[in-house]
Chains A and B, each alone.
Chain A
C-alpha cells in the first residue's frame, strides 16, 4: 500500500510541475477545457464579432469598409455644409457654431473632455503647443495663441480636425461632427483665457483675493 501512496504522490508532483500554478504568464492560446470537437456547444457560432478575422475576404477582415459615397445613418445626410464641412454658403470657411448647436455649459464640458483626451497630448492642456509629446520629438505643434489662430474662422479649425493638416493627421474617426464643434468651442475658451485681464474677474470674493478693487 505504501508504494501506491508513493506513486500517487509522484503523479501529483508531476502534474504540479507540468501545469504549474495559477497566474503563471504564458503565450500559447488558453487551453479549451471543453473542446468543440468533443462537446459541441454554442461557444463558436457562425457569426463575426467586431474586428474579427476571416478567411472569406482576401484582406482577412470581417469588418468591411463602407462603400464610397455612403453616409453613416446616425449622422444625418450632411446636407448642412456648415455643420459637417465647416464651409459657409459663400464657399469659404464658416464662422460661428452651426445651427442646432448653442454655446452652453454642456457643450463646452464635452469639448473639454474630448480636448483633454485627443488634443492635449500634443497641444498641451493650455493649448500652447507644449504637450508631453514635444519632449519626445513631436516638433512644431501649433499654439492656439498666436494672432493667426485667434482670428481663424471656426470652420477652418473644424476642417483641421476633420482632415488634419501637414504633420497633424485627421481626427474624424474619433470625433463625430458635433464633438468637433464642441472642441472648437473649447479652443475658443482656451484662447479667451489667455487674453484675460483683471476686468474679466467679476466675482466679488475672487476680486478680493486678487487684491482688486
Chain B
C-alpha cells in the first residue's frame, strides 16, 4: 500500500497549533487596537452646521471658554451656546456672512442650531463638569487642545479606564484653579518638585477625593 500522507504530514498538527496561536495573537491585538475607544472615538470630528473655529475665537479673539460654555463651572452639563451668544458679536461683526446663516435663522425664529454632539458618555455613566473644573481639572485633560482646533476633534478616549486613571492619582493632573481655562498652562506636577508639592497639598487641604467605587459614576 502506498503512503497516503507524505512524511511532512507528521509535523502538521504541530504547525496548525503554531498557526492557531498566531491567529489568536493577531485577533487579540486587532480587538484591543480597533475595538476600544482609543480607536473608535479618538479623531471624531463631525461636520458642524456652522464652521465654527475655536482657534479663531479663543486664540485670536481671546474669548474665555465660559463666555460661551457659560454653565461649565456651575452645573454638571457644559452647555453649547445659544444663538444669541453668537449674535452678541455677529449682529455687527460679519453680520451678513453666509456661513452664519443658520445662526441668524435660529436667532430670529427661535429654532435650534443642529450642532452635532461629539463627546458623549453612555447613559449609565454620570459625569459632572463643575466638580472637575472647580477643582483644577482643566478642559485640556479631557478634550485636548480645543483652543488650537478649527474643528473640534475627539482627542481623548473618555473610556472608563481613562477616568479611573486620573481618579487614582489626581495630583499628577491638576492645575492651579485659575489656570483651568488656559489650555496652554502647565500641570502643577510638571512645574518641578515644588509644583507637585503644591498639588499634593491641594489634594489634601481641599479634600479632593475622586470616586473610585462603581456607584460614584454609575448611580
Contact = CB atoms under 8 A, between A and B. Distances in A.
A8 B63 CA distance: 53
A72 B39 CA distance: 43
A31 interface: yes
B182 interface: no
Contact of B67 (A25, A59, A118, A168): A118
A169 B66 contact: no
Q: Is the interface of B mostly helix, strand, loop or mixed?
A: loop
Interface in B81-132: 82, 84-85, 87-89, 91-94, 110-112, 122-124
Given A45-B123, A121-B63, A30 B112 contact: no
A138 interface: yes
Given A19-B34, A42-B122, A167-B91, A27 B64 contact: no
Contact of A138 (B39, B46, B89, B112): B89
A169 B91 contact: yes
Nearest to B77: A50
Interface string A159-185: 000000001111001100000000000
Contacts of A32: 40
A117 B58 CA distance: 12
A117 B43 CA distance: 30
Given A23-B42, A47-B123, A60 B22 contact: no
A25 B45 contact: yes
A61 B79 CA distance: 14
Nearest to B44: A30
Contact of A167 (B15, B45, B92, B154): B92
A175 to B, nearest CB: 9
A22 interface: yes
B61 A59 contact: no
A206 interface: no
B66 to A, nearest CB: 5
B187 interface: no
Contacts of A116: 64
A139 interface: yes
Interface residues on B, range: 35 or more
A50 B47 CA distance: 21
B44 A26 contact: yes
A31 B64 CA distance: 33
Contacts of B194: none
Interface in B172-198: none
Contact of B84 (A27, A29, A167, A169): A169
A47 B35 CA distance: 27
Given A4-B19, A117-B66, A167-B91, 11 more contacts: A5-B19, A24-B43, A27-B44, A42-B123, A50-B77, A59-B112, A132-B62, A138-B93, A170-B84, A173-B70, A174-B70
Interface of A: 1, 4-5, 8, 12, 15, 19, 22-27, 29-33, 41-45, 47, 49-51, 59-61, 116-118, 121-122, 132-133, 136-139, 167-170, 173-174
26 contacts: A1-B15, A5-B19, A8-B26, A22-B39, A25-B45, A25-B153, A26-B44, A29-B46, A30-B41, A32-B40, A41-B124, A42-B122, A43-B123, A44-B122, A44-B123, A49-B123, A51-B77, A61-B112, A117-B67, A121-B63, A133-B89, A136-B89, A167-B91, A168-B88, A169-B88, A173-B70
